[in-house]
Structure 1
């Protein structure tokens, strides 16, 4: 008997006769036995590798064979759009067995929600934030609704694990497990990651080490000893500007479907407008467009042929936009993992190959793209690592638990997280702060929501407490009653001559009225002249490995891809101009010819340089301090002082200093003692290992 035959007969019948598949893919075949056995698993495959079916077919088989009832499978995704995209497939598969799938997120109507609560679907597709809202809602009997839960599928699990949404996800799953009184099978779906075993252990949460788990990745290519990249057609070009990028795109690949990735919403808007001016059928997708606008763009693009869709990373994940011919990247994504997701959108048709064209606008962008492709060529992918010390998430979870249960024992609350660190007794200082500041009340040994939590988070039934990420305040843009999307309010306050014009969805709009109280503005179509801008939050900057790869490129390493003549010439120029800043044997300290500027070229990345600047604070320039590549030092520093200072610096590394204003970007930081909130930010800004590596290298002093 083959492993495929272990699936439920009805599921197997429909795979053969309804889907007319000749057989399962290797990943799907390999997943059958461990998932039928109830084991946890991490399923790895490139984009469009059949991961959803690899999880769904065994779970539906178990559902039928073991008589699961009620909502027995949760399917969690990071994006509502991805849930919407997956629902028809999972509805179809569930229907084979007379079962139902349904979706629950912020855009689902109250009528539809009531129907879901009245007749629990067998498979519920949702986000962690919507799952949290169900747990704290007075309208949901969460004990009854989730009583039949047996398995959780986390799609695009790597997108959660690397930030605070991952801590939130794990904490909510532990609360669910405690609520229903038994563990649930956890299945993660992901593209290639650099540390799959660690990612699986992370997903298992408190159950790690006590439950069986398997990394299943038969379709993921293993890099050869020579470091040859996976097959595909990748080209790197230098174009110098977004206008030139639009000209190149208008001239290339006519008649084909092209997906263009940009690294900012502003670039998406500007490129979309430029492409339309060239007569190219162009669609846009980014997070500040309304859900309806994005959906219309993605559906129209999926049905068209000779067209372009310009997107931020919103289309990096597994949303289906049809069969693509080309992927084009403006500048460079921030990680190799992102590049793998993006190039994986192509090459799905038989006989086609995966491809990506990089169009760099600046010398820095060209170097970053070359460095990223150098790492990719070696088969290197970033490890996915949860951010350290999520104390603010602990505070949020304590408040959410009190909302969920109405009151919780002041000594028994850690049981709800089943021993998952840091949601245990180490959080006692946070509890004390929450009580002292009125976020929680303590009465007869019980904790419950206090007046300060009501004041800060009580709006719209504590909706703001269910999401752990913050967004910049934005204005909604309306044409009549139609929602176009959201813009940065700075566009409505800056001084302008004449009409105030916005650029949204690749088109210009004239502002006709601003409703400041309700944060809305009304617009009408305009003939050009629109501007786009959004505030970005968080720390930008390259990581250690990518910064080191940039240094390698400057020292002469070329990525294993096609380089255009323009790219070769600009790389040569960058290498010539920066030749004094790199050395293969270590870091370089460069003093300019006038003696007014002294810079330490570490090529260590933003976080490592922040750590080094804090550790060497007595010799770092207090005003212009550091970036990804270098740290500015005091101009009077001597070589002897330097050598004495670095002799033991790797033994006394310290965390970077954090400006109190940065706390605004850490949601729920106000529910923490300030010192703990600052310590959380400092730990996340640090790269102790990278800083130590730099300090162990020789340092050369150079006069230019």
Structure 2
């Protein structure tokens, strides 16, 4: 191996392990990380593309520290968002740790009780674990926590971009602060991510109130060549023959693009994953190649998901149609190309999905986006004639090429996860004073923005709901309902999962369907990429019995996309306003863009964002992010304005001049976040929101949904167009 100054910093057993494993050199990101971790006591965020060696960049120096300072507890935790990801990393670390004689353990739902007990009896080395399994340790192994973590030195958090600004991220952050309280010295955090949108916000998530203690290194050496295209398919609702033809054309193009080699095809919804898996396998069967396309999404049984992962890791090349479940870095080997059906949700998601291809140094990253014909069906409405899905796909692509990704969103209004953590701490301790609880979760925990008055209000509210109760000595203990919640396996996760029915064929679980969209008896539907007919529904056991069938129908699941960032909407406006040719569009997409630009120009939307539809109706193109757009809707709702929301635009039942007058009024008037929060629905957005009062939910919405400054700023800029 080529020696370097960073290599010299590694402990001798780690150097020997690298030599035995045949490493020839360290990558630049690994060189940097070794220096940062060995020569500093700061936390660190490592940002680099998929397959760039981030995990080793973190663990080579971490394992070196462990080698040189062995202790009788876990010394490093790796937190992964998925069990499959933990299993992958276990395989990668096991060999390295074996040479260095460092024990490495997994802890998740599939690890046997005997292995877990053996680990608890003699905790050492590295522990790989999910956030939900850390929660399980606090609830079920509270007496072992100090012996497990007293000498913990490092916590490595993978895929931090997928955690920031989510209930799961808040949950994990709270759990890690509680782990800190079990350790002699708070462990250092090493965050791994392929994308960092806002360095300061990411540092704040890693170490609240001490961002100066967080270093960041980026792998800027990893620019790869990209082969990229956006393909749009046109049809008219008035022409069923053309509609069918263009649908077949999309499926055929998908098949031609991804029937060779190992590929991933992402779809935004589970119904689309199911539909296109069936379509593609039907085309493959016509060529005598059955089951060429595999399937992967969160509602499938574990056996089916693991079968897909195993087949993708094998030597026979398969392609998998999947949801975001394969967006994160589960190791399925080298993927030739990536497909995307429908407009991607965000730049972040686009970067992640593109990064799944071309893992080898000399290979390009290949991605094709397919926009189905129903996105461009004939529409009389002006906003629809701008073809937002196509323009958004272009805007996301342009921002990706500019190396911009979304910063993490604020999640400071997440009272649901605070309720969950209150129950968890009480379950861990058996009972404690409110002041101790406040210190543990608020003063020294992840909820530092919650003041004492609000905290007391939450305790009183969940006391009324029988989640907790107070003894005569003033200790908080679990109420009857609280005990029932904590005993449930679902308690370990902070995010909500909708009630579901299990789909079963000959005793074998295939997957789950939501109770809101159950098929009726004898009805056909798709699941796991196969066609089924319902033969019976057992409502007591929540099971649907099925047999294979020839007919098919799309299953249904609720699907809400994440918020669109303001910069994406502004880039969409820019794409429409300019004449720049886009080289990665197919001819149909180019024609649609040209039509959209002509409509945009003819309506004079280049110079103004308000358009008079008639003497009594006005269309307002807000060109802003979801949060500000929702705030504007709340303001209009409060003034009882009749409207239609088109996402990029709002149609108002007001004349043009009345709209201008209203905007002046909204800018001048002091707006109250809690008042506007009353206008926002739904109120229940998180797992434990049902136990919170209306006032607490309005506080939560005011924190996380309402952006008055942003909304008024958009209005001020709009009014400048008419001065």
TM-score, normalised via structure 1 length: 0.90
Who is 1:608 aligned against? 628
| Cα offset, 1:523, TM superposition | 1.6
Who is 1:360 aligned against? 371
Who is 1:447 aligned against? 476
SS at match of 1:278: helix
Do 1:590 and 1:701's aligned partners in 2 also have CA atoms closer than 8 Å? Answer: no
Pick from 269, 274, 280 the counterpart of residue 269 of structure 1.
274
Who is 2:503 aligned against? 477
Aligned equivalents of 1:559 and 1:186: distance in 2? 45
| Cα offset, 1:452, TM superposition | 3.2
| Cα offset, 1:195, TM superposition | 1.0
| Cα offset, 1:682, TM superposition | 4.0
Aligned equivalents of 2:469 and 2:117: distance in 1? 32
| Cα-to-partner distance string for 1:659-692 (whole Å, 9 max, x where unaligned) | 7872443211133232111321343223445423
Do 2:412 and 2:449's aligned partners in 1 also have CA atoms closer than 8 Å? Answer: no
Who is 1:532 aligned against? 555
Range with bigger deviation, 366-375 or 650-659: 650-659
| Cα offset, 1:343, TM superposition | 1.1
Aligned equivalents of 1:672 and 1:44: distance in 2? 38
Range with bigger deviation, 306-315 or 266-275: 306-315
Do 2:177 and 2:444's aligned partners in 1 also have CA atoms closer than 8 Å? Answer: no
Aligned equivalents of 2:581 and 2:8: distance in 1? 45
Who is 1:584 aligned against? 606
| Cα offset, 1:565, TM superposition | 1.3
Range with bigger deviation, 549-558 or 365-374: 549-558
Aligned equivalents of 2:346 and 2:330: distance in 1? 20
Aligned equivalents of 1:618 and 1:198: distance in 2? 32
Range with bigger deviation, 445-454 or 108-117: 108-117
| Cα offset, 1:431, TM superposition | 2.1
SS at match of 1:96: helix
Are 2:589 and 1:567 aligned?
A: yes
SS at match of 2:7: helix
Range with bigger deviation, 651-660 or 283-292: 651-660
Do 2:634 and 2:679's aligned partners in 1 also have CA atoms closer than 8 Å? Answer: no
Who is 1:553 aligned against? 575
| Cα-to-partner distance string for 1:554-607 (whole Å, 9 max, x where unaligned) | 223558652221211121223334545662344213223xx4532212222332
Do 1:268 and 1:312's aligned partners in 2 also have CA atoms closer than 8 Å? Answer: yes
SS at match of 1:179: coil
Do 1:394 and 1:427's aligned partners in 2 also have CA atoms closer than 8 Å? Answer: no
Are 2:701 and 1:672 aligned?
A: no
SS at match of 2:181: helix
Q: 1:644 to 1:168 in 2, by over 3 A?
A: closer
Do 1:492 and 1:500's aligned partners in 2 also have CA atoms closer than 8 Å? Answer: no
Are 2:128 and 1:98 aligned?
A: no
Within 5 A, what are the aligned runs for 1:187-586?
Answer: 187-205=190-208, 208-209=210-211, 212-219=213-220, 231-240=225-234, 243-252=248-257, 254-279=259-284, 281-361=292-372, 362-363=375-376, 364-417=388-441, 418-420=443-445, 421-422=448-449, 425=452, 426-443=454-471, 444-455=473-484, 457-458=485-486, 461-493=487-519, 499-536=522-559, 542-556=564-578, 558=580, 561-579=583-601, 583-586=605-608
SS at match of 1:351: coil
| Cα-to-partner distance string for 1:238-258 (whole Å, 9 max, x where unaligned) | 124654322102223653222
Gaps of 5+ in 1: 222-228
Aligned equivalents of 2:90 and 2:608: distance in 1? 53
Do 1:71 and 1:148's aligned partners in 2 also have CA atoms closer than 8 Å? Answer: yes
Pick from 4, 7, 28 the counterpart of residue 7 of structure 2.
4
Range with bigger deviation, 581-590 or 329-338: 581-590
Q: 1:659 to 1:529 in 2, by over 3 A?
A: farther
Are 2:143 and 1:129 aligned?
A: no
Q: 1:200 to 1:220 in 2, by over 3 A?
A: farther
Aligned equivalents of 1:488 and 1:523: distance in 2? 16
SS at match of 2:438: helix
SS at match of 2:78: strand
Do 1:581 and 1:590's aligned partners in 2 also have CA atoms closer than 8 Å? Answer: no
| Cα-to-partner distance string for 1:142-164 (whole Å, 9 max, x where unaligned) | 22222232211100011111211
SS at match of 1:180: coil
| Cα-to-partner distance string for 1:417-445 (whole Å, 9 max, x where unaligned) | 45341356352221232334432222213
Aligned equivalents of 2:671 and 2:221: distance in 1? 38
Q: 1:664 to 1:390 in 2, by over 3 A?
A: closer
Are 2:54 and 1:51 aligned?
A: yes
Do 1:246 and 1:275's aligned partners in 2 also have CA atoms closer than 8 Å? Answer: yes
| Cα offset, 1:84, TM superposition | 1.9
Are 2:703 and 1:683 aligned?
A: yes
Are 2:51 and 1:30 aligned?
A: no
Aligned equivalents of 1:439 and 1:305: distance in 2? 53
Do 1:606 and 1:629's aligned partners in 2 also have CA atoms closer than 8 Å? Answer: no
Do 1:275 and 1:282's aligned partners in 2 also have CA atoms closer than 8 Å? Answer: yes
SS at match of 2:135: helix
TM-score, normalised via structure 2 length: 0.88
Aligned equivalents of 2:480 and 2:68: distance in 1? 50
| Cα offset, 1:176, TM superposition | 1.2
| Cα-to-partner distance string for 1:284-308 (whole Å, 9 max, x where unaligned) | 1111111211111122123245432
Q: 1:602 to 1:641 in 2, by over 3 A?
A: closer
SS at match of 2:182: helix
Aligned equivalents of 1:564 and 1:660: distance in 2? 40
Range with bigger deviation, 641-650 or 274-283: 641-650
Aligned equivalents of 1:304 and 1:338: distance in 2? 28
Number of residue equivalences: 681
Who is 1:226 aligned against? none
| Cα offset, 1:518, TM superposition | 1.7
